Amino acid sequence: MENLVSLSGFPEGDLEATIVERAVCDILREVFELHGFAGISTRAVEPVKELLKKGETSKEIYLLRRLQEDPLRAASSKKQLGLHFDLTVPFARYVRENAGRLAFPFKRYQIQKVWRGERPQDGRFREFIQADIDVVGDGELPVFFDTEVALVMVDALERLPLPGVTLLVNNRKVVEGVCESLGVNDVEAALRCLDKLDKIGAQGVSEEMVEAGIAQEAIDVLISMAQIEGNAEDVRAGLGALNVSSALLDEGLEELTQLLNECAERASGKVRAALRIARGLDYYTGTVYETVVEGHEDLGSICSGGRYDSLVTVGKRCFPGVGLSIGVSRLVSRLLSANLVSVTRPVPTAVLVAVTSEEERSLSNSIAAALRERGISTDVSPEAAKFGKQIKYADKRGIPYVWFPSSGEVKDIRTGEQVKADANEWTPPVEDARPQVRPA
Amino acid sequence: MENLVSLSGFPEGDLEATIVERAVCDILREVFELHGFAGISTRAVEPVKELLKKGETSKEIYLLRRLQEDPLRAASSKKQLGLHFDLTVPFARYVRENAGRLAFPFKRYQIQKVWRGERPQDGRFREFIQADIDVVGDGELPVFFDTEVALVMVDALERLPLPGVTLLVNNRKVVEGVCESLGVNDVEAALRCLDKLDKIGAQGVSEEMVEAGIAQEAIDVLISMAQIEGNAEDVRAGLGALNVSSALLDEGLEELTQLLNECAERASGKVRAALRIARGLDYYTGTVYETVVEGHEDLGSICSGGRYDSLVTVGKRCFPGVGLSIGVSRLVSRLLSANLVSVTRPVPTAVLVAVTSEEERSLSNSIAAALRERGISTDVSPEAAKFGKQIKYADKRGIPYVWFPSSGEVKDIRTGEQVKADANEWTPPVEDARPQVRPA
């Protein structure tokens, strides 16, 4: 099972990898719907000005031009289109355009490809699938939705063939409140530095903060804050020891505490605070999330997001939202490369109906039709070769059963067991009906 | 139910339309797998030189450039990428790249978006979904596969909420054989003219053929030929009356007859010959297919394809193939605009658990968890409002059941029937479990 790469950054799964990717997407879709999220699909393109609203990611965008368009004219056109690089920006545009016809709070999921012109690396692709859930309110959105989306993702990730996952949460208001209390004005810079804690360590962060003009005493407190993690009590105790206070901090702490307590009650041990989590995107205004896979921390966060209170506005109406996004392709790529899953066979086919002679092919076709009629994936041998060769054909594809029309028997080619069977009645065991994805 | 359009050529379905589109894709996937086709997914981009191999469609390609790339340099780069405009060209590339690891005959299906920079019209989009099946052989591919793919598509289309469909077939060798017999050398020109028969009529085709330098006697025969349709006997009789003969014609007629007879036996009345069918693409070498929907002939062909004996070559190895492609978006767009289907509700949710007071929200959450545990899509009311308001909330979304935690009762809000229920046991009727797509 592997990704086939003939164009850097654009891997294509082999047949087994494709089955894993679909199984993951099917599970996600099932769980999202179970929690009442409606599926939407947005176009792959957006006007460039829509994509560039978040300046930071501008480098990663793919722009489009029709072949017969003049390259320079296309580049200067106000109508130029680009491929979306995430599903949040298109969703924000979708909500803005359809605010009049949607029922709020609006819960949607979206599983689609996105594109980024980044330099490809291990687990970083230029084309990949994301799976997003968001809840958007009209005017207000209670903070218990921050808990809801976290628990939906916990539910979804637990059903995937993965080692344990932990959702790490923080709240921007806590960090900003601490900054406020410390007299740090450039909160953005502080967040940017803290976000690197895992990568460059406390010493590195400290140096970058000095460069950013943050006072040494403030730096020490911020780094102590960033090392706080655990449950609601741990957070309260940790922050208490920092000797900081502000109204914003209190508000953030209240939200974070509520989230942590609700999650502890409903999904014990799955959601922890980690006050170093900052998330780069500047539209987050409250809760932020990251997710790590046990034993695969090097993969980085496989499911991230947050609360954004002002991403979507229509005139004076504001639509606050909260959501999370799973990097499906990165996740599947790791499932494959770390051999965390196995697939029982690469093709859907459960039965190969052998062909005795070309003159009798229509008998084989009738048997196949009868089996398919009852939902059994069936193929007919392409050649009336010796049965040994036809069995080999099935074996090469992983097809478990071969049907012999002349004797009216079906053989499990893995065990050699062969029995009389009626195509209108015989059914394979349920685990043989379709390829199965199993934890390895 | 409708398509929402804020960018010409890039419609987005509303919630119901999205449900219809997914239902159609799910049915197609199910049927393709039932017939032993393995799913693959290719990247959305191809090197432009790959896309331009078929010169004819070059106008429709979208090229990519990263935002920080120089427009002129990007335009002249040999590595420039474009979005695929169909799934056949990427599949041919995929087979070429993976010939060494695939088992032939290789049966694959592929359901993906494609892009064309065409002028958008009714039912013609710039971004749309195609669903393709193809069988590719190594060196040879028996002609009975031309029957197989046709019957898979008949099976698939019959399961969709559509009026009757008819597959129309022809064989390039028949047309080329007739041309040969008539001394018409520019077969391409003859095909191009014949392809317009439905649009411009016999007189128009005749005039265009004169312009193309085809002799009047030949034109008369070609137009008579193009009017032949029906079963194998009709074709044989029609061609017999034309007084033409050639080895190629015999070969094509033999293939076409076999296909028509097998289809008549296995799917009576679903597949007919129509010798006017030419298909524009020049890589077809034998059977060609189109599909019309009864009462919606103006929609054009919703499922087309053909046999291509030399699209894929690796050195001296040749991989002949035959396949068909459904224009899913165009089909769904017609299902919606002609009101051919209805959807029972726009959200997956079967039950809304009411909230008595914010203090008791966790009771509602537990009930929801118990229902979800057993696969019932459930939402919890966002607000502890009066029950009347909470019922209205459900009604607005089409959620059929409201659960009252305080009394332990569940109400079908469509009938008003309210019963005592246990969240660990109660199950909605199967038709209420998920939104249903029904023929209207």
Residues of A in contact with B434 (CB under 8 A): 33
Residues 133-172, chain B, touching A (beta carbon < 8 A): 137, 142, 144-145, 155
| Residue in the structure block whose two tokens are 């469609």 | B57
pLDDT string in tens for chain A (440-residue length): 677 778 889 999 999 999 999 999 999 999 999 999 999 999 999 999 888 886 555 558 999 999 888 888 888 888 899 999 999 999 999 999 999 999 999 999 999 999 998 887 776 899 999 999 999 999 999 999 999 999 999 999 999 999 999 999 999 999 999 999 999 998 888 988 988 888 899 999 999 999 999 999 999 999 999 999 999 999 999 999 999 999 999 999 999 999 999 999 999 999 999 999 987 666 899 999 999 999 998 888 999 999 999 888 888 999 999 999 999 999 999 999 999 999 999 999 999 999 999 999 999 999 999 999 999 999 999 999 999 999 999 999 999 999 999 999 999 999 999 999 999 999 999 999 999 999 88
Q: Hey, is the C-beta of A382 within 8 angstroms of any chain B C-beta?
A: yes
Q: Output B235 or A59, whichever has higher pLDDT.
A: B235
For residue B10, give how far its alpha carbon lies from the nearest alpha carbon of chain A (Å).
6
Which pLDDT score is estimated for B291? 96
How far CA A50 is from CA of A108, A144, A155, B91, in Å, comes to 20, 30, 33, 33
Chain B residue with CA closest to A26: the answer is B26
Residue A127's identity, in one-letter code, is E
Contact B66 A71 (CB under 8 A): no
Q: Hey, is the C-beta of A246 within 8 angstroms of any chain B C-beta?
A: no
Nearest-Å Rg of the Cα atoms of chain B is 27
Confidence of residue B93 (pLDDT cuts 50, 70, 90): very high
Nearest to B347 by CA among B378, B380, B371, B369: B378
Residues of A in contact with B397 (CB under 8 A): 103
Residues of B in contact with A107 (CB under 8 A): 379
Distance between CA A407 and CA A424 in Å, rounded?
15
For residue B59, give how far its alpha carbon lies from the nearest alpha carbon of chain A (Å).
6
Nearest to A6 by CA among B64, B107, B99, B313: B99
Write the CB contacts of B114 (distance below 8 Å, at least 6 apart in sequence): B83, B84, B85, B86, B87, B127, B128, B129, B130
Q: From the list B7, B265, B379, which residue is nearest A43 (CB)? A: B7
Contact B127 A375 (CB under 8 A): no
Contact B66 A66 (CB under 8 A): no
Contact B105 A382 (CB under 8 A): yes
How far CA A36 is from CA of A129, A161, A237, B372, B435, in Å, comes to 22, 23, 37, 10, 12
Nearest to A172 by CA among A287, A269, A263: A287
Contact A43 B74 (CB under 8 A): no
Tokens of B375: 């696969």
Residues 266-295, chain A, touching B (beta carbon < 8 A): 266
Residues B249/B238, Cβ–Cβ less than 8 Å: no
Residues of B in contact with A9 (CB under 8 A): none
Residues 297-356, chain B, touching A (beta carbon < 8 A): 346-349
Q: From the list A83, A127, A377, which residue is nearest B33 (CB)? A: A377
Contact B379 A347 (CB under 8 A): no
Q: Please tell me whether residue B313 adopts helix, strand or coil conformation.
A: strand
Q: From the list B38, B155, B347, which residue is nearest A348 (CB)? A: B38
Residues of A in contact with B37 (CB under 8 A): 348
Residues of B in contact with A41 (CB under 8 A): 12-13, 18, 21
Judge if ipTM > 0.85. Answer: yes
Contact B59 A44 (CB under 8 A): no
Q: Hey, is the C-beta of B419 within 8 angstroms of any chain A C-beta?
A: no
Query: What backbone torsions phi and psi does residue A61 show, to the nearest 5 degrees?
Result: -80, 140
Distance between CA B135 and CA B272 in Å, rounded?
22
Contact B75 A75 (CB under 8 A): no
For residue B213, give how far its alpha carbon lies from the nearest alpha carbon of chain A (Å).
31
For residue B348, give how far its alpha carbon lies from the nearest alpha carbon of chain A (Å).
6
Tens digit of pLDDT for each residue in B307-348?
A: 999 888 888 999 999 999 999 999 999 999 999 999 999 999
Instruction: Give, in degrees to the nearest 5, the angle at Cα B348 between B344 and B354.
Output: 105
Residues of A in contact with B47 (CB under 8 A): 7
Tell me the sheet residues that pair with B303.
Answer: B326
